Amino acid sequence: MPNADTERLMALVEERTGYRVAVDTIDKCAGDAEMISAAPDHPFHLVRIAQNRLAGADYLVALQCTMLLSMWSHPLGIPKFRLIADKVAHVVRQAADCHGLARLSPALREQTALQMVRGLLHQLQSTPAELIGIDYCYRECPSLRQLQVDALTINLRFNTQSLKPDIKAFAPSDVYEKNQIMCAALARFWCDLTGTEAAWLPYKSIGVDTPAQGLLQKFRDATGSLGERSTNIVDAWADELGLRGLYEWTYRPT
Amino acid sequence: MKPESLTFTFLLEDFDLKKLPIDAALLRSDRAMLESAVSDYYAGQFRALGGEAQISITQGLVSVRWLSEAGLPALVEHSVALLQQGEYGTAVPMLRTALQHRPDDPVILLNLGMALSDMKQLADALTLLNRLVALQPDQAQGWNAMGMAHVRNNDVQAAEQAFRRSFELAPDDGYSLRNLGGLIARRSPKEALPLIKRAAELLPEDQAVQHGYGRALFETGDAAAADLVLERATALNPLTEIAELARTLRTKIAHENMRGAFGATPRMDVVMYCLAALKLFAGSPDKCQAITFEIAMLGRQGLDINNPDIKYTLKSLPGTFSGLQLVSYMYVGFKRLSPAADAGIDLCREYQQAQRLFEADGVKRQR
């Protein structure tokens, strides 16, 4: 049978937003799932699960549902994280000048730096909402626990791939460090939730433990509706990481 | 009750690194981190069981000493639960230790035998399962597990013998029926069908069995019954690989039924639906994406295209529609939005004819 917790969350999304959640699969996906929130020209929420992650689909759908609930609970409307092009371009240029990218052609250097900066900003936007969802599912969806453990194990392991020396040497140091701080915050959060330590081990020795703990404190201090918490945490993290001027929030009416 | 001490050991290099939230290459480059992570993993495993676990790693050998009043039965129970979650790398060393303490325990022999069979360690699996059926020749589960190990070992004859023995002992065991039926279906789907049907009756919640039954019905020529069974199989859990297989087969059945008597000739009802969609999307191009995607999503649960009943509604388009009408609209929508995309059904003949009518109609209006 479909997982009862997942079904409950899908029903809750429909009740709160007026749109049902449609689930589909996708061959290629940057992460384990993609989500498109409903809009008038798209009258349903779409959650697409990567084909290679179907075994954990129930949890991944539930997690995306928590993100939808979060987005749709913001009093100002559905938040949209909009990058400010000229400010991002400035950071990209700085990143492109780093030593690690010097061996690339100028065009490829710029393109790589752009991808890295955009990736960092996507991580900034998505991690707080993900933490809210992880926390909710862990506490409220016991039937999804094993699938959640499996999914987090895969995601955390994927994050640690970037700790390899060659990647560190290649990436712009500023972007790299901020990325690692947020990865470490996710790892510490999961360790605290589950009473384990393994996910934290790789980050203990690379000097990001204090700033990562600082981000988690900001996460715990946030108040308001799920949606407000999510955007407030992003802003608080951006302040800590020096990324505040690179984006702005716009809100679409529900 | 006096606490019982159990110790099991295994090579660190045999530990499945995928159980850890750290990249394998990183772990291999940092021995201390690897040892800490493995220790943490086992500490977590035994925390739920209670008692006291001491984990040590020396010279590549992991040693877990567990002191608990719950003792061996709790360890076996925990190991079986781990196997059910697919945690073979963790459960198998525990079961091997348990077997050393109780070499003739049927629960340990069966579960360790099945686990090793799943892990393709077939010689070891067959040794344990042979011992089990020697000790308990009337235990159907043992014969069934042995049959599966023989299948994996490509010994079809021995597999069939074992499955038949299991079936004799437990004629109403769904798994015996499923496995025997599945094996016979390789040479004769017709002969296997009654067995698979009975298995499906006994295991109505088992998606794999239901899918197997649907496939068997399809292969023996009863597409209509196959479609119903596959629909039920999909509904059991729409988010699995088996559900994807069932959906694919249902699409194939629906397509074959729809073409049915028409063969290569275009169906005029579909032509008219396509024409209506072309007109709708030409008049309101902004609606095309919403309507198309909404139908596509509705179609994930299966649109009944061979039933003329007008029973579907959309948020993006007022009215009620038949399944075939919606599929035709979706096909036209995909052709406009992404001509190379696979709409899941081939309506190209009808679409081409509708396009000709649409263009002719446009020319007429211009005059």
Q: Are residues A53 and A87 in the same domain?
A: no
Position A195: which residue type? G
How close is the nearest chain A Cα to the Cα of B332, in Å? 17
pLDDT band at A29 (very low <50, low <70, confident <90, very high): confident
> B18 at the A interface (CB within 8 A)?
yes
pLDDT at residue B224, as a whole number: 86
Rg of chain B on CA atoms, in Å: 29
The residue out of A37, A72, A107 marking a domain boundary is A72
Q: What digits encode the pLDDT tens for the residues B90-119?
A: 899 889 989 999 999 999 999 999 999 999
Question: What mean pLDDT comes out for the span A63-90?
Answer: 96
Query: Within a domain: residue A238?
Result: yes
pLDDT at residue B46, as a whole number: 82
Q: How far apart are CA A132 and CA B260, in angstroms?
A: 52
Model confidence at B367: pLDDT above 70: no
Please name which of B363, B264, B267 lies closest in space to residue B306, comparing C-alpha atoms.
B267
Model confidence at B264: pLDDT above 90: no
- Residue B57, classed as helix, strand or coil, is strand
Of A42, A57, A160, the CB nearest to B23: A160
Of B21, B238, B296, the CB nearest to A198: B21
How close is the nearest chain B Cα to the Cα of A48, in Å? 10
Model confidence at A51: pLDDT above 80: yes
Cα–Cα distances (Å) from B12 to B21, B23, B83, B239, B353, in that order, read 17, 16, 20, 35, 67
* DSSP code for B313: E
Model confidence at A150: pLDDT above 90: yes
Residues A201, B22: C-beta atoms closer than 8 Å = yes
Which residues of chain A are within 8 Å of residue B241 when distances are taken between CB atoms?
A: 54-55
Which residues of chain A are within 8 Å of residue B244 when distances are taken between CB atoms?
A: 25, 54
Model confidence at A1: pLDDT above 60: no
Look over chain B and give the mean of its residue pLDDT values, rounded to a whole number. Answer: 89
Q: How far apart are CA A140 and CA A132, in angstroms?
A: 12
The full DSSP string for B129-189 is: HHHHHHH-TT-HHHHHHHHHHHHHTT-HHHHHHHHHHHHHH-TT-HHHHHHHHHHHHTT-H
The residue out of A44, A72, A100 marking a domain boundary is A72
Please name which of B111, B131, B4, B7 lies closest in space to residue B64, comparing C-alpha atoms.
B7
H or E element in which residue B198 lies: helix B189-202
Look over chain A and give the mean of its residue pLDDT values, rounded to a whole number. Answer: 93
Residues A41, B290: C-beta atoms closer than 8 Å = yes
Model confidence at A10: pLDDT above 70: yes
Residues B20, A24: C-beta atoms closer than 8 Å = no
pLDDT band at B360 (very low <50, low <70, confident <90, very high): confident
Question: What mean pLDDT comes out for the span B183-195?
Answer: 93
Model confidence at A39: pLDDT above 80: yes
Cα–chain center distance at A199: 17
- How many structural domains compose chain A? 2
Q: What digits encode the pLDDT tens for the residues B44-56?
A: 888 877 878 889 9
Identify whether the C-beta of residue A129 lies closer than 8 Å to the C-beta of residue A222.
no
Query: Within a domain: residue A234?
Result: yes
Nearest-5° Cα angle at A198, B75 to B32:
100
Model confidence at A134: pLDDT above 90: yes
Evaluate whether ipTM surpasses 0.85.
yes
Residues B22, A58: C-beta atoms closer than 8 Å = no
Query: Within a domain: residue A187?
Result: yes
pLDDT at residue B366, as a whole number: 60
Of A24, A41, A198, the CB nearest to B41: A198
Largest alpha-carbon pair distance within chain B?
Answer: 100
Residues A42, B289: C-beta atoms closer than 8 Å = yes
Residue A131 belongs to what domain range?
81-249
Residues of chain B with pLDDT > 70, as a percent, come to 97
Residues A24, B21: C-beta atoms closer than 8 Å = no
pLDDT band at B261 (very low <50, low <70, confident <90, very high): low
CB atoms near residue A18 (< 10 Å): 12
Question: What mean pLDDT comes out for the span B281-310?
Answer: 82
Q: Are residues A92 and A164 in the same domain?
A: yes
> B237 at the A interface (CB within 8 A)?
yes
Q: What chain B residue is nearest to A188 in terms of C-alpha separation?
A: B21
H or E element in which residue B38 lies: helix B31-47
Out of A150-159, A179-188, A240-249, B61-70, which region has the weakest mean confidence (pLDDT)?
A: B61-70
How close is the nearest chain B Cα to the Cα of A61, in Å? 9
The pair phi, psi for residue A225, each rounded to 5°, is -65, 170
The strand pairing partners of B313, in sequence order, are B320
CB atoms near residue B48 (< 10 Å): 8
Model confidence at B189: pLDDT above 80: yes
Q: Are residues A2 and A54 in the same domain?
A: yes
Question: What mean pLDDT comes out for the span A172-178?
Answer: 94
Model confidence at A99: pLDDT above 90: no
Identify whether the C-beta of residue B327 lies closer than 8 Å to the C-beta of residue B347.
yes
Q: How far apart are CA A210 and CA A208, in angstroms?
A: 6
Question: What mean pLDDT comes out for the span B119-147?
Answer: 97
Structure tokens belonging to residue A242: 């020096």
Q: How far apart are CA A59 and CA B307, in angstroms?
A: 35
Structure tokens belonging to residue A80: 């949209």
pLDDT band at A152 (very low <50, low <70, confident <90, very high): very high
pLDDT band at B274 (very low <50, low <70, confident <90, very high): very high
Q: Are residues A138 and A219 in the same domain?
A: yes
CATH topology of domain B171-263: 1.25.40
Model confidence at B2: pLDDT above 80: no
Query: Distance between terminal CA atoms of chain A?
Result: 32
Q: Are residues A44 and A119 in the same domain?
A: no
Q: Are residues A30 and A106 in the same domain?
A: no
Query: Within a domain: residue A254?
Result: no
pLDDT band at B240 (very low <50, low <70, confident <90, very high): confident
Structural domain boundaries of chain B? 1-102, 171-263, 268-366
Q: Are residues A110 and A53 in the same domain?
A: no
pLDDT at residue A27, as a whole number: 77
pLDDT band at B363 (very low <50, low <70, confident <90, very high): low
Cα–Cα distances (Å) from B130 to B97, B135, B149, B177, B356, in that order, read 19, 9, 11, 21, 70
Enumerate the H helices of chain A as residue ranges: 4-17, 57-71, 85-96, 106-140, 145-160, 165-170, 173-194, 201-204, 209-221, 226-241
Please name which of A119, A141, A118 lies closest in space to residue A64, comparing C-alpha atoms.
A141
pLDDT at residue B365, as a whole number: 61
Question: What mean pLDDT comes out for the span B308-320?
Answer: 85
The strand pairing partners of A42, in sequence order, are A39
Model confidence at B164: pLDDT above 80: yes
Residues A23, B36: C-beta atoms closer than 8 Å = no
Which residues of chain A are within 8 Å of residue B25 when distances are taken between CB atoms?
A: 161, 164
> B85 at the A interface (CB within 8 A)?
yes
Q: Are residues A85 and A140 in the same domain?
A: yes
The residue out of A72, A95, A113 marking a domain boundary is A72
Q: What chain A residue is nearest to B238 in terms of C-alpha separation?
A: A2
Of B85, B205, B238, the CB nearest to A146: B85
Residues of chain A with pLDDT > 70, as a percent, come to 100
Which residues of chain A are within 8 Å of residue B18 when distances are taken between CB atoms?
A: 153, 157
The full DSSP string for A78-144 is: EEEEEE-HHHHHHHHHHHHTSGGGTTS-HHHHHHHHHHHHHHHHHHHHHHHHHHHHHHHHHHH-GGG
pLDDT at residue B89, as a whole number: 85
pLDDT at residue B268, as a whole number: 85
Q: Which residues of B102-141 are buried (b: 16+ CB within 10 A; e: fewer)?
A: eeebbbbbbbbbbbbbbeebbebbbebbebbbeebeebbb
CATH number of A37's domain: 3.30.2010
Please name which of B119, B164, B109, B115 lies closest in space to residue B142, comparing C-alpha atoms.
B109
Question: What mean pLDDT comes out for the span B328-351?
Answer: 85
Q: Are residues A15 and A140 in the same domain?
A: no
Q: How far apart are CA A167 and CA B19, in angstroms?
A: 24
Query: Within a domain: residue A173?
Result: yes
Residue found by looking up tokens 């000097």 in the block: A207
Residue found by looking up tokens 């799920």 in the block: A226
Of A61, A161, A163, the CB nearest to B239: A61
Structure tokens belonging to residue A201: 């081990």
pLDDT band at A14 (very low <50, low <70, confident <90, very high): very high
A149 or B237: which leads in pLDDT:
A149
pLDDT at residue B265, as a whole number: 79
User: pTM of whole model > 0.90?
Assistant: no
Kindly give the interhelix angle for B223-236 and B207-219, rounded to the nearest 10 degrees. 170
Identify whether the C-beta of residue B99 lies closer than 8 Å to the C-beta of residue B93.
no
The strand pairing partners of B7, in sequence order, are B65
Which residues of chain A are within 8 Å of residue B22 when distances are taken between CB atoms?
A: 156-157, 160, 198-199, 201-202
